Structure formats: C-alpha cells, structure tokens
Structure 1
Amino acid sequence: MTEPLREPAGVEALELLSTGRLEVVGRLTDASNATFYATVEAGGAEAACVYKPVAGERPLWDFPDGTLAGREVAAFAVSEALGWGVVPPTVHRDGPFGEGMVQLWVDGDPDVELVALSRRTDHAGLRRMAVFDAVINNSDRKIGHLLPVPGGHLYGCDHGVSFAEEYKLRTVLWQWQGEPLTEEALDGLARLAGLMAEAGGPLAEELAVRLTGPERYALRRRVELLLEHRVHPYPSPAWPSVPWPPV
C-alpha cells in the first residue's frame, strides 16, 4: 500500500513528479485547456497532481502555440529563485497524452473565503504573490487561482499565460499599486536578478528552454525596473487590468 506524499515541496516532490508512474483519474472540466486530475506513484510514495498536456492547449493569438506548459514550469523556477515557494512543485514530462506540465495538487483551506482574501492588504503572502505576478507578467491572476493552505501559506496556480514580452499584467491584486516594495520583496528580487545573471546556471538554463530570448530579456527588465523604482507597478492604460471573470 502506498503512502501519500504529504509535504508539497522539495526535492522529494520534484523527483516523484518527474519519474513516478502518472495515471489520469479524471478531467477538470472547468479549465479552458485540457487539464487532468492524476496520481503519480513511485517507490511506495504517491501524490495527487494536475497534468496539462501540450496537445490539449488551445491556440491563443498572443502566445506561441504549445508553450503554455513550459511557461508554468518557468513560473515555478522563478518562484523558487525568489525563495518564496508561491508555486507548487512543477515539472515538464511525458504522460498518457504526451508531454506536458505536471504540478503537485494542493488542497486549499476550505475555511478561507477567497474573495475576502483577495481584497486584504495585511496578508504578507498575498502581497508576495502580487510581486511575483509583476515579475512573470501574469495576464490571468484570478481569485480562483489563489490556493491558501492550512497553516497560512499561499500558493498560486495557472501561470500558462505569463512571460509575454509586452506588459500584460492582469490581476485582481492591485491594492498595493504605487506603494513601496517590502524589504522582503527587494531581497527576493535581488536574489532572482543574480541567479538570472549566472550564465550557464540552473535558472538561466531552465528559462532558456522555456522562454524565447526576447521574453527572457523582458523578464530581466521587469526585475530591474522593480528594483530601480522600488514600488508595486500600476495597471497599463492600454490593457484590461483585471481578468474576466475575476473569479
């Protein structure tokens, strides 16, 4: 009998997601692209996960075809480089319907009311998420993409439409626009900038696989501008600032 992997982080989770036997349980029908609830098992450990095959991605006018799964993996890499763990462990691997993104399933805290959470200004994890979204240029931060877990940590999911060259930040988390970044945010951004600058380093190599050259340049510039101006960004007047529907 297998035992579930209970801690949704770390090398153990990534190893399980990367090498375990992936079995689809059912389809998550609310998702716009083919998204499956699955299990992954290896060496007596088992965990639930989300599997998004590249073959199930719908073409978008503003993102290259077949790149959404890789952008989710890039978002995890950036989250880890920041040191914030705002994205559950995520890998790119083969599966029953071809290559795609596999992400550890996170059970949200049912006692947290997400709409109320999204409006708070005193939640450190939420403010961290707002900075993370600015870094990856997330064009679809909906309320339902917030995953608070028991104990207080906040994860986020669905980062496939991120890392565009053009400024497309679209989010429900605008409550800090124009306010100074926290010291924690500045420290994380400086750490990220340093890791991206390491030619041949793990982060630079991962991003080179998942993003185009212009997208990587735009990512570096966003980080540089956040460090230079030291404030949360403002919405673009040329782009809808809140996703629809917001939930």
Structure 2
Amino acid sequence: MPTTPEQALQRGELTLIGRIRSASNATFLCEAKLDDQVQHCVYKPVRGEAPLWDFPDGTLAGRERCSYLISSALGWNIVPYTIIRDGPAGPGMVQRWVDQPTDDRADSAHSATGGDASEERPDLIDLLPSGRIPAGYLPVLQAYDYAGAAVTLVHADDDRLRRIAVFDLLINNADRKGGHVLTGTDGQLYGVDHGVSLHVEDKLRTVLWGWAGKPLDDGTLAAVSRLGDELRGGFGAELSAHITVREVAALQARVVALLRNPVMPTPDRRRPIPWPAF
C-alpha cells in the first residue's frame, strides 16, 4: 500500500526548510519524507517554547495535540493533523501544512467582476472602514487604524467560522487571531496555533464574537454531546498525557455548561480580543 501523508509525518525524516519568524516561539517549516511520500509540515520544538507564567503545566506542543484530538472527536477536523514526535531540535509538535490558494486576489477579483480590485469581497476576517460593512458580515469591534480613521473589525457570517467559534469556546482558546484561520485549497477552514488553550480559568480571547448571544443549532449540539460522551469514556485519559487532570475536568465542565445553556457567550471586559488581532 502507498505511504500516507500521516505516516510520512509520523515516521518520515524531517528536514528543516526555514524558520517562520512571525511566530513568537521557535517554529519551522519542514519536509517529512518517507518512501515516495513528501509532506510539508510545521514543527515546533518544545525546547523553543518561551515560558508562560499562566500556562506553567505541560507544554504548548501538548496543548496543540489535545486541540487536534478534540477537533477530531467532534468530527469537525478544524485542526490539521497534529502529533508529538522527535525532530531536528528534539521532541515537539508536528502539524500538517495547510496549502492555501495561490491565485492573485486582485486578478481574480478583476476577472470575476469586470472591475478593479476594490470591488473584491473582504477576507473572512477583516478590518473595514466603519459604515461600509457588506451584507453577510458581522461587526465585532469599533477602532481606529494607524492613520486615525475609524474602522470596524468584522468577520463573515459563515457556518465554518461559527464552528471554529464553538470549538474555541470548548478548548478555551486564549489566542484566536484572524491570522490563525486558514482557507485550504480544499475549501475547508482550518484553525492553527492552539498552544495557549485548555486552561482551567476562563481565558477565551477571539476575534469571532459576531454570534455572541445567539443559540446553537442542533447539529452543533449533537457534536458537543458526542464529545461529552467521549470524555466520560477513555478520551479524558488520552488528553491527560498532555494536560492536567484539572484541565480535562474543566473541558468537561465547559461541555456540560454549553449543553445546559446552548447560547454563544458574550465578551466580558477582560480583554476578550487578542492583540494584535491578526
């Protein structure tokens, strides 16, 4: 049988291609090669993690792995395939690289509309001039840009984004920036960078507040209920290899609370949006 991309990530030889310098911790683009299968991936060695006073237990890599496992248990596949394995700089997180569309946005907009690039749709998460929010977008925050002009942080009223918002609530994601949502060439939306998640205290910080106060649909609740069933089985023990027993219990509590009150929360006053937002 041919080698799968997952097998290449698990057992393939990792070769560093370059460092992703925009990341706050040591993050590398790598190539995993096994037999005839070559898979690009992100590698974050544990030894390159900066200590965080409010996340003293375990590793950020372990929290990334848990986020992938939770995404899979929900059946949503938001997080790209993620494992913990040895690499050129020691043990760390290895995550499948998300291939994104490479077509030039301006050319595509021009050919599709017959006009100039200013007619193109905003990104799924974007900053727009205040008062110029198109249909299908939800406002999140009023602000001023570096030139002093009034702008509004918005995101699309998109079911794929809404699912990510629910996922962030469950894993207690403290850092959902706009740049952490990627559109794959397969048309799926992926969430990345979940190292600061699954804390016992409420630390939800996200740019996806557009559905605050809105009820959850039955399909979403069914998936959350299945996650609760998994946690009552052996899944909690699997997560406990990377996070504390208290953090697993806090995840269970968030599942129960959401099923009892199936409404998206509203932001509080304790910095509910990560900064910078992108």
Structure 2 Cα separation of the partners of residues 115 and 204 of structure 1: 33
Among 113, 133, 140, the alignment partner of 2:123 is 113
1:244 and 2:236 matched:
no
Structure 2 Cα separation of the partners of residues 206 and 148 of structure 1: 29
Any stretches of 5+ residues in structure 2 without a counterpart?
Answer: 106-121, 127-136, 138-152
Report the AA paired with residue 232 of structure 1.
M
Return the offset for 1:50: 0.2
RMSD: 1.9
1:22 and 2:14 matched:
yes
Q: Once the two structures are aligned, what percentage of the paired residues are identical?
A: 48
Return the offset for 1:121: 4.6
Structure 1 residue matching 2:40: 3-state secondary structure: strand
Which protein has the bigger strand share? 2
1:96 and 2:128 matched:
no
1:224 and 2:256 matched:
yes
Return the offset for 1:78: 0.2
**Equivalent residue, structure 2, for 1:128:** 163
Among 251, 254, 265, the alignment partner of 1:233 is 265
Q: Name segments (4+ residues, structure 1) moved above 4 Å.
A: none
Post-superposition Cα deviations, 1:82-126, rounded to whole Å, max 9, x if no partner, equal: 000000000000101000000000022355824348834531110
Report the AA paired with residue 183 of structure 2.
P
**Equivalent residue, structure 2, for 1:48:** 40
Structure 1 segment 167-246 matched on structure 2, within 5 A: 167-198=202-233, 201=234, 203-237=235-269, 239-246=270-277
Structure 2 Cα separation of the partners of residues 109 and 190 of structure 1: 34
Post-superposition Cα deviations, 1:129-171, rounded to whole Å, max 9, x if no partner, equal: 0000000000000000001123431001000000011000000
Residues 26, 66 of structure 1: alpha-carbon distance in 2 compared, 3 angstrom cutoff: farther
Post-superposition Cα deviations, 1:2-61, rounded to whole Å, max 9, x if no partner, equal: x9x9xxxxxx33322111111111100110000000000112101100000000000111
Post-superposition Cα deviations, 1:51-74, rounded to whole Å, max 9, x if no partner, equal: 000000001110016510000000
Q: Give the stretch that moved more between structures: 61-70 or 37-46.
A: 61-70
Whichever of the two has the greater Rg, that structure is 2
Structure 2 residue matching 1:128: 3-state secondary structure: helix
Post-superposition Cα deviations, 1:185-224, rounded to whole Å, max 9, x if no partner, equal: 10110110011110xx3x3232010110111110000011
Structure 2 Cα separation of the partners of residues 141 and 148 of structure 1: 15
Structure 2 residue matching 1:184: 3-state secondary structure: helix
Report the AA paired with residue 219 of structure 1.
L
Report the AA paired with residue 8 of structure 2.
L
Among 70, 73, 77, the alignment partner of 1:81 is 73
Instruction: Tell me the matched-pair count.
Output: 234
CA contact (8 A) 1:54 1:66 kept: no
Report the AA paired with residue 215 of structure 2.
P
Structure 2 residue matching 1:18: 3-state secondary structure: helix
Q: Normalising to structure 2: TM-score of the pair? A: 0.80
Report the AA paired with residue 72 of structure 1.
E
CA contact (8 A) 1:14 1:91 kept: no
Report the AA paired with residue 91 of structure 1.
I
Report the AA paired with residue 113 of structure 1.
D
Q: Normalising to structure 1: TM-score of the pair? A: 0.89
Residues 114, 176 of structure 1: alpha-carbon distance in 2 compared, 3 angstrom cutoff: closer
Report the AA paired with residue 225 of structure 2.
A
